[in-house]
Amino acid sequence: MKFPLLSAIMFLPLIGALIISVLPRGNRMGVRWVSVITTGISLVLSIYMTIAYDTSAGADQYQFVEQIPWVETLGVQYHLGVDGISVSMVLLTSFVIFTGCLVSWVSIKERDKEFFFFLLVLVFGVHGVFMSLDLLFFYLYYELAVIPMYPLLGIWGSANREYATMKLMIYLTFGSLIALVALLAMYFFAGEVNGSLTFDMTVLANTPYTAEFQKFFFPFMLFGFAALIPMMPFHSWSPAGHAAAPTAVSMLHAGVLMKLGAYAVIRICLDMFPAGAQVWMPVVAFLCVLNMVFGGLVAMNRKDFKFMIGYSSSSHMGYVLLGLACVNVVGINGAVLVMFAHGIMTALAFSLIGFIYDRAHTRMIYDFSGLAKHIPFVGVCFCIMAFASAGLPGFANFVGELMVFIAAFQIYPVATVAAVFGVIITATYMLRSIRDAFFGTPDPRWAGLEDAHTFLHRAPYVILITILLVVGFYPFPLLEIINTGVEPLVDKLNNAAELMRTAQLSR
Amino acid sequence: MIHYSWFILFIPLISCLTIVLLTRKYKDLSSYISIAGVAIPFILTLKPFFALLGSHGHFEPIESTLVWIDVPGLTVKMGTLIDPLSILMLMVVTGVGTLIHMFARGYMHGEEGFSRFFACLSLFIFSMLGIVLSTNYLQIFIFWELVGVASYLLIGYYYEKESAAEASVKAFMTNKVGDFGFILGILVLYYTVGSFNFYEIQDILATNGATYATGTLTIAALLIFAGAMGKSAQVPLHVWLPDAMEGPTPVSALIHAATMVVAGVYLVARTYPLLVLAPAAMETVAYVGGITAIFAATIALAQNDIKRILAFSTLSQIGYMIMAMGVVNLATAEVYTGYSASMFHVTTHAFFKALLFLGSGSVIHAVHSQDIWDMGGLKKYMPITYWTFFIGYLALAGLPPFAGFWSKDLILGAAHENGFHILFYLGTIAAFLTPFYMSRLWFVAFTGPKRTDHHAHESPLIMTFPLMVLAVLAVISGVIGEFGIPGVYHGFSSFIHYGSDPHGPLHLDIMIQSTIIAALGLFLGWWVYGRKQITESEDPMKRWLSGFYKVLENKYYFDELYFWFIRNVYNRISAFCNWCEVNLVIGFGVNGIAYLTRQSGAVLRLSQTGKVQSYAFIFVLGVTSIVFLSVF
């Protein structure tokens, strides 16, 4: 039997969580080492998977497949597999959780055992979503990725955490319930067509749903999943959640959880209901302008670093939505690349803000001045993050955004102009916050602030920045992988569009 | 085998990374690494440069590319392009860059952020060479933004100073506005022509340019030109350049005078195949340049900061270059003499403006003030700086036989022969104002007795050596460019030209006229400021221009206008959005739904009292009403 690579990547954090749960309370170092080692091995395996992934033309669409029957009467299987899109997402998740554990090593001071436990369970769920090819498991993992947020925010959170926790749970549960309606409809429809019920996503994706069926149920899925992206106007849980969450959770939340929504839109909405996508994605192109411009302008007016980055995150997810709305190869490739790049960038952002907040106990931009003098290393990293966020070339974000612009310009010119303007807005608030907090006369109040001196402090930032730069300077290899997942998807979307056109003509 | 041009591009980046990662703590070593990072590319550039000189105008472009993005429907390559235009720019950037790096080693001596400075400088050289070597619009856009970052970092070098922090943001944001147009222009062009590559676009447009709608091409050209306006600080996107003088003086010399700010001119040159098909855009280019030339020259009359005077003079000179690019009469005779003249002026201007900035740096280094009214009497204390600055001053003033004269003359000649009379006169007035305000600077800051009790002293050799080299270039580069070197090459325009007509005729009448005008400006400047020493309050300009002087001093209130817009429009829209978010989306929408849910829960809860009596009551009520309804 082949080595179950995907299961290993996915279960390592869960094993870590289980070991942590039996460690004696007070074994602070043990908890940390277990987390870092399990996520570290998982990261190494993810990198191996990325390298081993076969991008040649004749390769299978899903690779490293593991398939074990489970409940045969209902058609449930334990079925894992990755295509180019999921590979990049798994890699992203592994990087974010590994750096997140490193950051939490120092920043978590109370109940660390429970914290790391929930954190690792959460990651188990996230990996599961990205790898699962069985719809039932997909949905379970999707929920599993959300549930640990409740204790993580509620216990270790700050500022208005009860409100934020409640809001987040209600939004996300409600969203996934709406999606569930459409998923069940699809399950039974496909069961009717195929003659047997199955949750196998590769089968479900190849079932010919009628155009009417797709058009009706598409918005359920779209809006259900898009709440997690978050697509405006279903976004307000997100900045509040960011602000309340402890550092590592913010990193995961913005870096990975938000991508779950976008991933679900790609994997379920676009892949299963291509005809519905052709009808409904222009609506997304309209709504994503709200994300990019409105979200950006709100971020510009925020004085709290975390809220600023929170709104900035939903603003950036607008580029992802715009890319997806293009339903063509370049656009979806760009969208996935933005998902990857934004995940890394925003993890960096929240880890830096967390660093400052842990020491200064304030996150208000106006409380700071001339910080670059006192904490130069963090200051430099923050500048780099700001540049990446503002879509500067040399960083992965730029490549993705550029591809989205190129793809969208022909289809949605107005939205594209708004998107490019969104870059200016981002640059405005990013540079303003640097000017206000890091430049200017050094405030003696922060003279004692400790910079990131140790290896442990610096490692997460260095890792994340390196990824952004490497992909930004030479995106070709990663895009090659992503594209293997995008191409079959777009073929399907094009076929659906073609069918609809001929249907219209014959009528 | 990797093409040598890749080394030209990446050596500065390697320098930058080495300094950042390894030698940050060793200041001397860092500066040497940085100097090597620009000197080696210079030496490497000599190879194609001599090949070009020996080619007699038949130089085949060499492209070396690498696939950067390759998905179905979009292939983007990055690479290097060696053609006459890029070789010229390479020579200017690396040549002047090397000298300025050397100067900076002396100038920045003892600074806390010495290594950081040189790392940024190397980053800048890398990005600038990236612009120059770009093979396509996307690549040039990428490096375009990167020079913006380097410029931002260097303007904000003294980040603890509020004004420097402010200026860096301003520079970056103004450029972003230009780049907003630039990227959209690239997209329009891509969807019209189907390529990003310069030479491919040139071929496509040359063969079937007439099949495209002129309107679309004009929009593309104008949007791309917006990028050039931002980087080259053309009106109305000029506001950042004077403030950019907050950076250390070598930065002003390198980035904000000699190289980066002329990137816009270079971009226009690269966009020429498009511009010649879009007459309206071409004309816009000419007028934007002409207006900037005169506009900035007037402001320079009323400035007291030595670097700001030079900054406005830079604006004005770049205006000349941009104008020269645009003065083509596409309707009648297609004579592209302006193209060559413009690039010629880029070259000579790089030499004498770098010289002037470095000279001013040498003075600031010695006097510790930037106000020209604090200086004076420098001849005795710093003779090398004094005499080299004098050469730069005459070169900028446009007096023959110094470099500025020849290139400026060609520009005015191009405007004249293509029938752009308004621009010709605007340019001529600017050519009068330039020697005048430069004389003001010269006589106030350098000659006469000391104005304050400063302890000026000559700068060390590492600073004066670049000055001397640049001074020599400021003297000879014009003549060599104009007439060539017999037996070696036939003058500048024999290899930098557009179309088939390489060499315009010498305009003797315009030469004589502009010599007279330059001399007049110089004389008047001497008569007002040099005849006898005056103090700032006695500046006769204030009397002559009265109210208008205030307008000039405040740079036509552009800054105020923009600040008003940012404060009252941009920020307010942002605040309004936030208000909507807090009150409408969250307050009314989200919390409203939550409130409704809670309230309906509170009401419905009443039905679940748990008392048997009330259930019985409702039960009876129900039965009664059913009976009642069924009976009647």
Which residues in chain B are contacts of A480 at CB distance < 8 A? Answer: 70
- Confidence (pLDDT) at B351: 93
Mean pLDDT value across residues B555-567:
88
The pLDDT tens digits of the residues spanning A291-335 come to 889 989 999 988 888 889 988 988 999 999 999 998 889 999 999
With cut-offs at 50, 70 and 90, classify the pLDDT of residue B268.
very high
CB contact under 8 A, B70 and A479: yes
Joined together, the tokens standing for residue A409 give: 């310009």
Interface test with A, best of B71, B137, B567 (most A CBs within 10 A): B71
Name which of A167, A394, A410 is nearest B191 (Cβ-Cβ). Answer: A410
With cut-offs at 50, 70 and 90, classify the pLDDT of residue A59.
confident
Name which of B67, B575, B589 is nearest A301 (Cβ-Cβ). Answer: B575
Mean pLDDT value across residues B539-548:
82
**Around Cβ B373, how many Cβ atoms within 10 Å?**
17
Which residues in chain A are contacts of B168 at CB distance < 8 A? Answer: 435, 439
SS3 label, residue B464: helix
CB contact under 8 A, B585 and A233: yes
What pTM was computed for the model? 0.91
- Confidence (pLDDT) at B552: 85
The yes-or-no verdict on residue B507 having pLDDT over 80 is: no
Which residues in chain A are contacts of B159 at CB distance < 8 A? Answer: 370, 372, 438-440
Tokens 């890749």, residue? Answer: B6
CB-based burial of residue A18 (10 Å sphere; 0-12 exposed, 13-18 middle, 19+ buried)? Answer: middle
Mean pLDDT value across residues B56-85:
86
d(CA A401, CA A395): 11
Q: Which helix (H) or strand (E) holds B66?
A: strand B62-71
B593 touches chain A (CB under 8 A): no
B159 touches chain A (CB under 8 A): yes
Shortest alpha-carbon distance between residue B439 and chain A (Å):
36
Shortest alpha-carbon distance between residue A441 and chain B (Å):
5
The yes-or-no verdict on residue A1 having pLDDT over 60 is: no
The per-residue pLDDT of chain A, averaged, comes to 87
Nearest CA in chain B to A414: B184
CB contact under 8 A, A294 and B577: yes
Mean pLDDT value across residues B417-436:
90
d(CA B76, CA A109): 49
The yes-or-no verdict on residue B2 having pLDDT over 80 is: no
Please give the DSSP secondary-structure letter assigned to residue B625. H
Q: Which residue has the higher pLDDT, A396 or B337?
A: A396
Shortest alpha-carbon distance between residue A106 and chain B (Å):
25
Shortest alpha-carbon distance between residue B229 and chain A (Å):
17
The pLDDT tens digits of the residues spanning A28-48 come to 888 888 889 999 999 999 999
Mean pLDDT value across residues B167-173:
91
Name which of B141, B191, B586 is nearest A236 (Cβ-Cβ). Answer: B586
Shortest alpha-carbon distance between residue A261 and chain B (Å):
20
B596 touches chain A (CB under 8 A): no
Which residues in chain A are contacts of B164 at CB distance < 8 A? Answer: 439
- Confidence (pLDDT) at B551: 85
d(CA B98, CA B588): 62
H/E/C letters for each residue in A375-426? CHHHHHHHHHHHHHHCCCCCCHHHHHHHHHHHHHHHHCHHHHHHHHHHHHHH
Which residues in chain A are contacts of B246 at CB distance < 8 A? Answer: none
B162 touches chain A (CB under 8 A): yes
Instruction: List, in order, residues 6 or more apart from B339 with CB less than 8 Å away.
Output: B269, B272, B324, B325, B328, B496, B497, B498, B499
- Confidence (pLDDT) at A147: 84
Shortest alpha-carbon distance between residue A420 and chain B (Å):
7
The yes-or-no verdict on residue A150 having pLDDT over 70 is: yes
Please give the DSSP secondary-structure letter assigned to residue A29. H
Name which of A329, A393, A431 is nearest B73 (Cβ-Cβ). Answer: A329
Which residues in chain A are contacts of B72 at CB distance < 8 A? Answer: 329, 483, 487
φ, ψ of residue A76 in degrees (nearest 5): -95, 135
- Confidence (pLDDT) at B289: 93
Instruction: List, in order, residues 6 or more apart from A407 with CB less than 8 Å away.
Output: A323, A326, A328, A330, A331, A334, B73, B74
Which residues in chain B are contacts of A435 at CB distance < 8 A? Answer: 165-166, 168-169
Mean pLDDT value across residues B253-263:
90
Mean pLDDT value across residues B417-444:
91
d(CA B391, CA B476): 11
Joined together, the tokens standing for residue B237 give: 């996107």
Name which of B156, B574, B585 is nearest A236 (Cβ-Cβ). Answer: B585
One-letter amino acid of B3? H
Mean pLDDT value across residues B434-442:
92
Q: Which residue has the higher pLDDT, B428 or A112?
A: B428
- Confidence (pLDDT) at B334: 66
Beta bridge partners of B74: B71
B545 touches chain A (CB under 8 A): no
Widest CA span of chain B, in angstroms? 123
Ranking A404-418, B50-64, B251-265 by mean pLDDT, the lowest is: B50-64
B6 touches chain A (CB under 8 A): no
Shortest alpha-carbon distance between residue A377 and chain B (Å):
12
Mean pLDDT value across residues B262-290:
91
The yes-or-no verdict on residue A26 having pLDDT over 80 is: no
Nearest CA in chain A to B146: A393
Cα A350 to chain centroid, rounded: 14
Name which of B143, B159, B177 is nearest A439 (Cβ-Cβ). Answer: B159
Interface test with A, best of B74, B173, B579 (most A CBs within 10 A): B74
* H-type alpha helices, A132-160: 135-146, 149-156
CB contact under 8 A, B573 and A403: no
The pLDDT tens digits of the residues spanning A69-86 come to 888 888 888 888 888 899
Shortest alpha-carbon distance between residue A102 and chain B (Å):
22
The pLDDT tens digits of the residues spanning A373-418 come to 888 888 889 999 999 998 888 899 999 999 999 999 988 999 999 9
Name which of B69, B160, B586 is nearest A440 (Cβ-Cβ). Answer: B160
Report which listed range, A317-326, B333-342, B586-595, is most confident.
Answer: A317-326
Q: Nearest-CA neighbor of B273 among B180, B208, B343, B364?
A: B208
The pLDDT tens digits of the residues spanning A225-266 come to 888 888 887 888 888 888 888 888 888 888 888 888 899 999
d(CA B480, CA B489): 10
Which residues in chain A are contacts of B187 at CB distance < 8 A? Answer: 405-406, 409, 416
Interface test with A, best of B69, B75, B142, B565 (most A CBs within 10 A): B69
Mean pLDDT value across residues B155-176:
90
Joined together, the tokens standing for residue B48 give: 């194609």
The pLDDT tens digits of the residues spanning A457-476 come to 888 899 999 999 999 989 89
Interface test with B, best of A174, A308, A431, A490 (most B CBs within 10 A): A431
Tokens 């300025």, residue? Answer: B100
Please state, for a pLDDT cut of 90, what percent of chain A lies above it. Answer: 24
Q: Which residue has the higher pLDDT, A506 or B528?
A: B528
B71 touches chain A (CB under 8 A): yes
The per-residue pLDDT of chain B, averaged, comes to 88
b/e burial code for range A72-83 (CB count within 10 A of at least 16 → b)? eeebbbebbbbb
b/e burial code for range A428-462 (CB count within 10 A of at least 16 → b)? bbbbbbbbbbbbbebbeebeebeebeeeebbbbbe
Nearest CA in chain A to B156: A439
Please give the DSSP secondary-structure letter assigned to residue A72. T
d(CA B228, CA B267): 6
The yes-or-no verdict on residue B143 having pLDDT over 90 is: yes
With cut-offs at 50, 70 and 90, classify the pLDDT of residue B220.
very high
Q: Nearest-CA neighbor of B498 among B289, B616, B334, B618?
A: B334
With cut-offs at 50, 70 and 90, classify the pLDDT of residue B501.
low
d(CA A296, CA A289): 10
The yes-or-no verdict on residue B502 having pLDDT over 70 is: no
Q: Which residue has the higher pLDDT, A159 or A184?
A: A184
Interface test with B, best of A55, A398, A402 (most B CBs within 10 A): A402
Which residues in chain B are contacts of A297 at CB distance < 8 A? Answer: 573-574, 577-578
Ranking A145-149, B171-175, B304-308, B604-608 by mean pLDDT, the lowest is: B604-608
Nearest CA in chain B to A431: B169
Please state, for a pLDDT cut of 90, what percent of chain B lies above it. Answer: 44
Chains A and B: how many Cβ contacts under 8 Å?
A: 128
* H-type alpha helices, B19-61: 27-53
* H-type alpha helices, B54-161: 84-107, 114-133, 137-155
CB contact under 8 A, A487 and B72: yes
The yes-or-no verdict on residue B54 having pLDDT over 90 is: no
Name which of B68, B72, B145 is nearest A476 (Cβ-Cβ). Answer: B68
Name which of B69, B188, B580 is nearest A479 (Cβ-Cβ). Answer: B69
**Around Cβ A56, how many Cβ atoms within 10 Å?**
6
Nearest CA in chain A to B570: A297
d(CA A76, CA A72): 6
B597 touches chain A (CB under 8 A): no
Helix axes B114-133, B84-107, angle to 10 degrees: 170
CB contact under 8 A, B187 and A333: no
Question: Can you point out the beta strands (E) in A142-293?
Answer: none
Contact A398, A420 (CB under 8 A): no
CA torsion angle for B597, B602, B605, B607 (degrees, to 10)?
-100
